[in-house]
Amino acid sequence: MQPMTVFIAREVAETPCQRDATLAHEMKHVEVFRQVLEEAARALEREFPDAIGAELRRAANAAELQQRLILGVRDYLGQFMKDWQRTLDARQREVDSPEEYARVAAACAVSQ
């Protein structure tokens, strides 16, 4: 999950009503991103200790032990991020509903 930057096209930004309607829509995406990021952080804090485990590990040497731990963490975090990216994508699709697009499209019809 990377920082989110909102861009608004110049042709939209030059019309206050369209800019405001578009920005309001995009800020819904920002809020979904913030919520999912917060939920993912709480889940990681809760799940990570069990996922990595506290059991005694044995290896031929320290380098092998470290390598196993690194691989375990990498595999766990890779799957964790894939799962949360799917959650984020699904929630962002909900923001982009046909009803929301109709609302944004009609937002400036009255004021023009």
Where along the chain do its domains lie? 10-106
- For 39-77, the pLDDT digits (tens) are 999 999 999 999 888 788 888 999 999 999 999 999 999
In the predicted model, what is the mean pLDDT of the chain?
91
pLDDT for 61 equals 92
Output the pTM of the full model.
0.80
**Contacts by residues 92-99 (CB-CB < 8 Å, ≥ 24 positions apart):** 92/29, 92/32, 92/33, 94/32, 95/25, 95/28, 95/29, 95/32
Query: How many Cα atoms within 13 Å fall on the side-chain side of residue 43?
Result: 13
Q: Is the pLDDT of residue 111 over 60?
A: no
